[in-house]
Amino acid sequence: MTALDLTEVLRPGDRIVVGQACGEPTTLIEALIDQGPRIGNLSVFIATSFSGLFTAATADAFAVTSMGAIGALRALTKEHVLQVIPCHVSQVGPLVEAGVIGCDVAMVQLGPADGAGRHSCGLVADHVRAAVSSARTVVAEINDQVPHTFGETVSADEIDCAVTVSRQPVRVGAAPIGPVDAAIAAHAADYIGDGSVVQIGVGAVPEAILRLLRDRVDLGVHSGMVGDGLVDLIEAGVVTNARKGIDRGVTVTGALIGTERLYAFADRNPLLRMCPTRYTHDAGVLARLDRLVTINSALEVDLTGQVNAEQSGPAYLGGTGGQVDFVRAGARSPGGHAIIALPATAKGGTVSRITAALSGPVTTARSEVDVIVTEFGAAELKGRTLAERARRLIAIAHPDFRAELDRAAHEIRRRGF
């Protein structure tokens, strides 16, 4: 396509699956925002967005659905223009393939084709293949600034329409690390020993944890996403993947979420493999990883260990994500752990995140939970009674709320826990 006229490829009522996170095809999205009202009745599914292109104003161009209010999509929930499908990351691809998440058109960002006519998926591999295989029409943004990564590819003959661009992909810079983040990271890092395989996200706490691992030996990485902090550990010889039972010597991930540092490192690097969620989050694959330590976040945890990572009262703030997939895997891995890390308080210290009862849904059941970490310590819950769980969780709550939580736990026990 030399002139980006989407009326040539889109039909009224089309359901569009768009590449997510740093794999967002921003040129295509901009055209969709501009031309969507003229086409009519369009809907878009995007799992995560960091571009800032999706705003309340885009509701005039198309309806937006996601698996959560993650990244810039959180602003859409405040305006009540985001529809959320509660599902695990591992379910998105199968739901697209089954037609439950409709995909008439796939819009993806790819790197230039190699000599065999295959385009690297570049920065995101998660459910790209599922969308490409399911769509009536595949529209690709071919960006020569996207790194060539090994793993998932799309053949040129699978692309119906292509637009060639040269523009900086979406970037996500490192979040500033505060004292609370550093304290949480110190407790979480204690569970990561030599030879551990790590699953970790991006953000202040994950970045702080990675900075504490520089004295470890032969760490491995198998994660749904990785950020800039991974580069330091590989270049320092800390992450070697040498002891992994599978994919030895290779970091496995489904999404690169970072800056030019990460993208340059990933370009044509055989130490990194981009895989779909049917591999990164698969229970059978994860079961083959010993010493797997998974680290995920939450909005709140109740005194029995139930985890809410999605909604605080009426405000939808997060998503199910890959948490349950990795919590189950880490908790069952020989020598491994599943860590849920969160600050002890919210709203400037006025609200405890360790609560007597959740204000939102249960993302991870208490029967799956292993370790909860705050800046005040770690509570190991797996195999513990309800009463012991409450005691341990109160011990890592903010001191200002411990007496209140202790009274709540006593009242719950009096009623039969």
- In DSSP notation, 23-36 reads G--HHHHHHHHHHH
Query: At what angle are helices 386-395 and 399-414 packed, to 10 degrees?
Result: 170
Q: What angle do CA 62, 133, 8 make, to 5 degrees?
A: 45
| 117 and 195, same domain (yes or no) | no
Q: What is the DSSP letter of 113?
A: B
Check which CATH number belongs to the domain holding 278 and give it.
3.40.1080.20
Q: Is 305 left (phi over 0), alpha (psi -120 to 50) or beta?
A: left
| DSSP H helical ranges for 242-385 | 260-266, 277-280, 283-286, 323-332
How far apart (Å, rounded) are the C-alpha atoms in residues 143 and 211? Answer: 32
CA 52 to centroid of chain Cα atoms = 17
Are the C-beta atoms of residues 303 and 260 closer than 8 Å to each other? no
Q: Are residues 284 and 193 in the same domain?
A: yes
Burial of 313 (C-beta count, 10 Å sphere; 0-12/13-18/19+): exposed
> What pLDDT score does 297 carry?
95
Q: Mean pLDDT, consecutive 10-residue segments, the chain of 417 residues?
A: 82 97 96 94 94 89 91 85 91 95 98 95 96 97 97 96 96 94 98 97 95 97 96 97 97 97 97 96 96 97 96 80 94 97 96 95 96 98 96 98 95 77
Alpha-carbon distance of 120 to 199, in angstroms, equals 23
User: Is 170 a domain residue?
Assistant: no
C-alpha distances out from residue 298 to 32, 41, 115, 122, 205, Å:
33, 35, 45, 29, 12
Kindly state whether residues 54 and 29 are assigned to the same domain.
yes
How many structural domains comprise the chain? 2
Among residues 165, 198, 222, the one where a domain terminates is 165
pLDDT of residue 417: 60
Question: So what's the pLDDT on residue 74?
Answer: 85
Backbone angles phi, psi at 406, to 5 degrees: -65, -40
Reported as type and span, the H/E element at residue 308 is strand 307-308
User: Are 108 and 208 contained in the same domain?
Assistant: no
**Hey, what amino acid is at 210?**
L
What phi, psi does 394 have (nearest 5°)? -60, -35
Cα–Cα distance measured from residue 61 to residue 117, given in angstroms and rounded to the nearest whole number: 34
256/364 same-domain check: yes
pTM to 2 decimal places: 0.94
Structural domain span for residue 293: 179-414
Q: How much is the pLDDT for 228? A: 95
Q: Is the CB of residue 89 less than 8 Å from the CB of residue 201?
A: no
Pair 139, 244 in one domain: no
**Degrees (nearest 5) of the Cα angle 303, 309, 312?**
80
CB within 8 A of 385, min separation 6: which ones?
Answer: none
Which tokens sit at 119?
């385009």
On whether both 161 and 184 belong to a single domain, the answer is no
According to the model, what pLDDT value does residue 268 have?
97
Whether the Cβ atoms of residue 215 and residue 236 lie closer than 8 Å to each other: no
Quick check: helix, strand or coil at residue 44? strand
Clarify whether residues 141 and 245 are in a common domain: no
What's the angle, vertex CA 97, arms to CA 126 and CA 258, rounded to 5? 15
CA distance 207 to 401: 28
Contact of 86 with 360, CB cutoff 8 Å = no
Same domain, 195 and 330: yes
- Cα separation, 51 vs 296, whole angstroms: 23
- The sign one gets for the Cα dihedral 361, 363, 368, 372 is negative
Has residue 171 been placed in a domain?
Answer: no
